[in-house]
Amino acid sequence: MATELKLPDLGEGIADADVLSVLVSAGQAVAKDEPIIEIESDKATLEVPAELAGTVTQVLVSAGDTLQVGQTILELEESESAVDGRPPATPPPEAKVTTPTETPVADPALTPSLPTAQPGPAATTHAAPPPLPPAGGDMPVFASPSTRQFAREIGLNIREVPGSGPAGRISIDDVKAHARARPSTQPAASVGLTAAPLPDFSKFGAIRSERMNRVRRATATNIAQSWSSIPHVTLFNDADITSVEAMRQREKDRVRSAGGSLTITPILMKVVAAALKAHPKMNASADFTANEMVLKDYCHLGVAADTERGLLVPVIRDVDEKSISELAIEVAEVAGQVREGQLPPERLEGASFTISNLGGLGTGHFTPIINPPEVGILGVGRAVERPVYVEGLLRPRLMLPLALSFDHRAVDGADGARFLTWIVEALAQPLMLAMGD
């Protein structure tokens, strides 16, 4: 009996993905964990592996298709190796070959879960009660603290989620299911994207049309939603990094020999992590439905990256617990994964604050747009040498343009100013930034 292999849960409310290429064909034998298709989601390009070993009997997708999570990719005649991990033995001529009917249980910590196949006609099932409608008004919401936190982190109002548990209790699976359904029910205009038709540009001259990839479409939606729903305030300042640059020059060869690249970015990450510890309001998310601030004890920083596919924001976790050298090595590793299109989707999740560095492209000050549900983002421009008065004397100093955008609903102007000033003062005192290993 053929087994259906389906598109697994891609995380963070992603409901579908585009098929870039099909890597197998009917009649082909595949091993467990062998890639079967390459897809592009809103976050990344990745290969979907086979959960079982066997022979492909039918491929149900082709390049260019859009797959929903849980949609069947192909049908596969399962082999014996799918059950016990051994290569299938060749039976003697008189032996009767039987196909195992029990699907192996994958380790959920290592393998994305696939939706289970529907039971056959002979199976006896007990239908689960339908989800209760979402709570409204002052009705109590039955959900665990971890479920509430998850809903906040993906920007979802917990009161909008129908609960499938006893008495309408809401589980994390309910939140994920509601998040997947939400994009298809939200019109583009609701997130600030215009649907007005364009004029016929061809009457003015030659034109070409290029289809937006998924990263560009997702970026357009998220940026428009952020700009239209969050009252941004942007503060500007310049940091004197003359001493930091001298330290960077002294240490860059040592870090390079360890496999890293000591740019200003890992140094800034360490400073920002310390600033977030000193100013926890910036390391938070706002839940305006519950009138709560979710303060995060962890410090995961998103680092905006310009790629051929568009803007991606890889996340470096526990920045406060790592040295500058360790951060430089990890950033270099992630940069390599981004260039090769091999960045795992989980490396794009969980940021509590973002840094966007456009200095390498020659820009100065700019106004970065917040990446919700974060409440702040630091924009970094190109450092330039200019004369600055130091203790009454005009001296050449290397000045780094900084721009802090924050959500004024969650952060007061004074708090934002103190946070940015803390960063500027820390950069002026590089002895605070021990290189330690």
List, by residue number, the catalytic residues: 408
Report d(CA 157, CA 115) in Å as an integer.
26
Query: Helix %, strand %, coil % for the chain, to 5?
Result: 30, 25, 45
Report d(CA 276, CA 415) in Å as an integer.
11
How many residues in total does the chain contain?
437
Residues 6+ apart with CB under 8 A from 91: 97
Answer yes or no: are the C-beta atoms of 384 and 219 closer than 8 Å: no
Paired with 397 in beta bridges are 386
Residues 6+ apart with CB under 8 A from 257: none
312-316 contacts at long range (C-beta below 8 A, 24 or more positions apart): 312/43, 312/44, 312/215, 312/338, 312/343, 312/348, 313/348, 313/351, 313/354, 313/371, 314/338, 314/343, 314/347, 314/348, 315/347, 315/348, 315/349, 315/350, 315/351, 316/269
Distance from first CA to last CA of the chain, Å, rounded? 56
Residues 6+ apart with CB under 8 A from 219: 310, 311
DSSP for 385-405, written as a single string? EEEEEETTEEEEEEEEEEEEE
Residue 373, preceding bond cis, omega within 30 degrees?
A: yes
Report d(CA 23, CA 63) in Å as an integer.
10
Instruction: Report which of 405, 161, 157 is spatially closest to residue 286, judged by C-alpha positions.
Output: 157
Query: Residue 168: exposed, middle, or buried by beta-carbon count in 10 A (0-12, 13-18, 19+)?
Result: buried
Buried b (16+ CB within 10 A) or exposed e, 25-52: eeeeebebeeebbbbbbbbbbbebbbbb
